[in-house]
Each structure stands twice: as structure tokens, then as C-alpha cells.
Amino acid sequence: MAEKTIMLVCSAGMSTSMLVQRMKKAAAADGMDVDVFATAAADADNKLASEPVSVRMLGPQVRFMESQFKAKADAKKIPMAVIDMKAYGMMDGEKVLQQAIGLLDQKV
């Protein structure tokens, strides 16, 4: 089991699959023990309840749902943010990984 688990939330759970792979590759290159997975916004609350999530990241396409997701993440003391739009568009796994890791240092 990985030390930290990063959940990416997008509209259908598929558009972030390439980003997940790039984040995993970046984590391996950086020697980090993290698990990254993507889920659809419709199933995000179920995943939050059933998976050991350390950080929740929203894809730019679901940023309009930020307030409802943030309330649930805050209740579980899980840091959350919207993925940097430029990093998402470029599928920059390293940058998004660093954004997620940076959230772990913040207190909810």
C-alpha cells in the first residue's frame, strides 16, 4: 500500500487517465511512494468513503463543483484543490504531482 493516495476527480473518470499515468511515472522517478487514481465526479464521494485518500484534486472541467467537494473533504480533513489548468492541459504529471504533495503540508 502506498504511503499517500491522490484522488483525481474529473467529469467522466477517463479524461485524467493519461495524467494519472504521468503522475505515477513522475512519482517513481522522484522515488515517491504514492498511489494516484482517477474517478468520475458522480462516484467521487463513494471513493472518498471507501479509499484511503490523502489528497483530492479536481480537474478543471469540474471546478464548478469545488464547494460541494470541499465541504466533504474538509469534514474528513483531506486537503483539496483544483488542478492547475495549464498543467492539466499540458498533461504535466510532475507539476500536478508537486501541487498535490504541496497540499499535504497544509492543514485543513
Q: Indicate if 55 belongs to the active site.
A: no
**DSSP element (H, E) containing 85:** helix 85-90
Which candidate in 6, 7, 10, 78 is catalytic? 10
DSSP assignment, residue 62?
Answer: G
State how far the Cα of 107 lies from the Cα of 73, in Å rounded to an integer: 12
**How long, in residues, is the chain?**
108
- Cα separation, 30 vs 45, in Å, equals 30
Active-site residue set: 10
